Structure 1
Amino acid sequence: MSRFFESTRPLFEWMNTSSGRQTVLTATGGVGAVASLLYWIPHAPAINSTKNISQMYLGGLPLQPPRHMTDLIAETLGDCGITEIDSRRIRWFTAFGFDPIHFGQVSFKKGSIVGVPKTFYYKDIDEIDKTDIKINRNKSVPWRTEAGTALMEALVLSDEAKKFAVAVQVHHVCWNEVLTKLLIVGIPIPAAATLAAFIMERFNLLNAPPIYRRSVVAVAGFLFFGIAMAVWDAYTRYLESSADREVCLMGEDYARGGVEYYGKCLLRNRALRELLQKSGERTYTVEGNIKRWFHRPEVPLTKRKANCEESLKEVKLKEPAAAVPETTEEPTPAGSVRQSFLFSRPAAPNEVFSGVHATQTGRIKPPPPQGGKVPVSSDAVPSVSEPAK
């Protein structure tokens, strides 16, 4: 070790010069920019590749959802009050795993993508494809056990729970989540270097023994690393709590769906804890939360369920006193209305939104009331579209 430090002496001597310090500060700024770029790439320029990697395939083609799921997503977008321009910039696909995922933002050039798990397509236990679910390195689940039965029950969600989960993802992609996290990732490295340089110059440590300078750099690095992790975790938890609350306040059915959704997530994790044995005990707590040792980048599921229960009580108190206005719907223009799920291609210019869409003759209607579906005006939907560049 002493030989190593002796060999690096010329480097540290050069770093003590004014040109060396300036070069180091510039280099750390570049490293911070690269770190931000690595986080940004899968959310923006490579978002199509991210979708291709994250989605499920059947026979070499992207897995297509059933009709009832496309109707549910269209209705949820209408309830969220998403504008036609923003809804056009949300693409949907079937994702691996049990939980929905999202990448990108609607404000980006290539928009955003939301992955819906295959389990959202099930209406009852009989529809579960048990051959697709494996545990402990490709072993079949013992479905006849108590834990297996609990897992089956947890995988089947009501439409209210599905709409809640979809609405939460829509809220995430409509916020500036990615841009804010870019700053959280990129700032700590140059900030730590700047702080270390300031301390060494302020306390005249440039001519002190190398051990002092190395200690200052190490302390500054660990300090800003810890601050960055704390800010990342706090911001992520804030977004999750805010999304849950905003969706729950959309109506009693959404709040009820949130309570069910997180309750089913906890039940699923408890079942997996028992089915996975030692691996499950290391991954999940007895309550069904994900175990975290050093940091917690998400709100515990028990807390999210409790928050939804509180919001449900709040909504129940407000709704009886709220006046329900009478609404009249315009007659449907002549022509057929159809909905489909564009999982395998990005949005075409004449579609109001990619993922779920409806085509009909006539003019574009204003945003629908709660419970309505997002209208789309298009004479034809192309069958083939070039991928977004």
Structure 2
Amino acid sequence: MNIFSFKYRNLILGVTATAVGYYTVLMPHTIFLSKYRYMVARYQIGKEAPLDFKILQRIQKIMDDLKLSDDIRNIIKPFSVFGFDLLHAGTLNNKYGAILGIPANFTNTAEQLRENLQIKEEPIDWTRQDAQSFLNASILSENAQKFAIAREILRIQAEEPYFNSYILAFIIAILWTFYNAITYRFKLRNQNVILCRTLYSSFTVCGAISWFGIKDYRSYHLDRKTDEALCSLGADYIKGGQEFYEKTLIRNRAIRSLLGEEGKRIYTAYGNEQTFLRQKHVPLSYSKDFFDSQFGLQNLDCKT
């Protein structure tokens, strides 16, 4: 194989690897977004459970508070999601849009939750203190719901899928170029196959670490930026944020107790998510402390 054919083949492989990396991250938020929604939605009698008018009105009020344009409002599609956590996915792309998952505890009463809640497909023993704590923490006030929904909407606006896709594509392109430059310059492909494979593996690991590191750093930064932005919307959102994080910590501690050993692998004794190496989000306890301080400053301003 001549030098021209070798370089041409490597160029094609590099472009292909870059494109695959880019679209692998982006496709679940675009082409496969409807399939993802189908997988996580909550259903009633075989159909997606509808959101009641009250919660839809609340979402529109939140969009008013965030001063969203009509174009963005129309792109974000609320729906009923399975579980107890809000969910967002998608982008501000007009063709595919974004989805905003609203869990059952935002629309159901305490009695409705008590009747339908299960842990691992088994009825909950409501005489247990941790079960009562779980139920009480799952019911959020209007302010807490507004905060939580606004938080997800701001994350949609951050366009994380595009950022993560671009970063992965950039890392693949740069490392592929370096790898080929080194192996070509020192003629490793034919003379030292083992060293060539070791170099390839090292670059792959380095690329993965770089991508996860940048991705997690930005996500962590967006958590802080989002909380600060919502604080600027006024007292209702500060109180809502304080309640949301406090009750989420209580709920997580209750789940930890209800699930036993499995729960200990998911949540810490304080209610934060267990992490290993990666820190994708600001710990809930840190966010709670932030809103506690904001609430204290607000009270101090009122007194002065």
Name the TM-score, length of structure 2 as normaliser. 0.91
1:134 aligns with 2:91: no
Could you tell me which runs of 5 or more consecutive residues in structure 1 were left unpaired when the two chains were aligned: 1-13, 322-389
Whether contact under 8 Å (1:285, 1:291) holds in the other structure is yes
Shift in CA distance, 312/201, structure 1 to aligned 2, threshold 3 Å: farther
Q: Which has the higher helix share?
A: 2
Query: How far, CA to CA, are the matches of 1:253 and 1:116 in structure 2?
Result: 20
- Of 209, 214, 219 in structure 1, the residue corresponding to residue 197 of structure 2 is 214
More RCO (CA 8 Å, sep 6+) = 1
Tell me which amino acid in the other structure corresponds to 2:49. L
Query: How far, CA to CA, are the matches of 1:294 and 1:285 in structure 2?
Result: 15
Query: How far, CA to CA, are the matches of 1:23 and 1:315 in structure 2?
Result: 63
Does 250-259 or 287-296 show the bigger shift? 287-296
- The aligned counterpart of 1:328 is none
1:120 aligns with 2:106: yes
Does 253-262 or 302-311 show the bigger shift? 302-311
Query: How far, CA to CA, are the matches of 2:54 and 2:6 in structure 1?
Result: 64
Name the TM-score, length of structure 1 as normaliser. 0.72
- The aligned counterpart of 1:151 is 134
- The aligned counterpart of 2:66 is 80
Q: Output one character per residue of 1:301-324: Cα deviation in whole Å (capped at 9) or x when no partner.
A: 112222223333455566789xxx
Tell me which amino acid in the other structure corresponds to 1:242. K
Q: CA deviation at 1:40?
A: 1.7
Query: How far, CA to CA, are the matches of 1:186 and 1:312 in structure 2?
Result: 42
Q: CA deviation at 1:91?
A: 1.0
Shift in CA distance, 49/95, structure 1 to aligned 2, threshold 3 Å: same
- The aligned counterpart of 1:46 is 32
Query: How far, CA to CA, are the matches of 1:239 and 1:225 in structure 2?
Result: 21
Query: How far, CA to CA, are the matches of 1:103 and 1:314 in structure 2?
Result: 34
- The aligned counterpart of 2:57 is 71
Secondary structure at 1:288 match in 2: coil
1:56 aligns with 2:42: yes
Could you tell me which runs of 5 or more consecutive residues in structure 2 were left unpaired when the two chains were aligned: none
Larger radius of gyration, structure 1 or 2?
1
Q: CA deviation at 1:240?
A: 1.8
Query: How far, CA to CA, are the matches of 2:60 and 2:92 in structure 1?
Result: 17
Whether contact under 8 Å (1:251, 1:315) holds in the other structure is no
Compute the RMSD of aligned alpha carbons. Answer: 2.3
Whether contact under 8 Å (1:29, 1:189) holds in the other structure is no
Query: How far, CA to CA, are the matches of 1:194 and 1:314 in structure 2?
Result: 52
Q: CA deviation at 1:128?
A: 1.8
- Of 289, 292, 307 in structure 1, the residue corresponding to residue 272 of structure 2 is 289
1:26 aligns with 2:12: yes
Q: Output one character per residue of 1:319-354: Cα deviation in whole Å (capped at 9) or x when no partner.
A: 789xxxxxxxxxxxxxxxxxxxxxxxxxxxxxxxxx
Secondary structure at 2:153 match in 1: helix
- The aligned counterpart of 1:312 is 295
Secondary structure at 1:88 match in 2: helix
Secondary structure at 1:167 match in 2: helix
Whether contact under 8 Å (2:86, 2:102) holds in the other structure is yes
Shift in CA distance, 274/213, structure 1 to aligned 2, threshold 3 Å: same
- Of 242, 258, 276 in structure 1, the residue corresponding to residue 259 of structure 2 is 276
Query: How far, CA to CA, are the matches of 1:320 and 1:274 in structure 2?
Result: 41
Q: Output one character per residue of 1:16-57: Cα deviation in whole Å (capped at 9) or x when no partner.
A: 966335423431331231232122222123323322222111
